[in-house]
Amino acid sequence: MFCSDLRTDSDFCAIIIIIIIIIIIIIIIIINRPDITFIDKKTKNTFLTDIAVPNTHNLAKTITDKQNKHQELANEICAMWKQNTAQVIPLVISSTAVIPKSLPQSLKRLNLHSNTYRQMQKCVILGTCSIVRNFLNYK
């Protein structure tokens, strides 16, 4: 074994293995970090919010990817922070401002105004126009 070559002490090998496991867990948590995390300390509810602006044909896939990506993290947060619930809320709007059916429900779960999606659509259209304008003016 590689640990026995370094040192005969089994405690030393155990410490190295524990350190490697901790580093792997930290890397996994950093990779799966959501965009915004809301914590309601009174009700002990956590909302993991991830924002995405894909093409129109990738809306449904992006929503399920975001939910699946952060579900394990939500379960860990419930256990580690002693939260009642940890919900994954994907906020997805297409680059052409098409909204999925789940967006108004997601905004409602975050207690945001029901017309927030209109402001989101405006921001996305302005951002897309800016990107296209910069591309066409590229020299």
**Which long-range CB contacts under 8 A does 74-82 form with residues at least 24 apart?**
74/46, 74/48, 76/29, 77/46, 77/48, 78/46, 81/39, 81/46, 82/44
Q: Given the DSSP bridges, would you call strands 36-40 and 45-52 parallel, antiparallel or unpaired?
A: antiparallel
| Selection from 58, 89, 53 nearest residue 74 by Cα | 89
Q: What is the pLDDT of residue 139?
A: 63
Query: DSSP of the chain, one letter per residue?
Result: -HHHHH-S-HHHHHHHHHHHHHHHHHHHHHHT--SEEEEETTTTEEEEEEEE---GGGHHHHHHHHHHHHHHHHHHHHHHTT-SEEEEEEEE--TT----THHHHHHHHTT--TTHHHHHHHHHHHHHHHHHHHHHT--
pLDDT given at position 54: 93
Report pLDDT for 27: 64
pLDDT recorded at residue 19: 82
- Residues of the chain scoring pLDDT < 50: 1, 4
What's the predicted TM-score (pTM) here? 0.70
Render pLDDT for 95-123 as a digit per residue (tens, 0 to 9): 999 999 999 999 999 999 988 999 999 99
Six token digits for residue 19: 């350190």
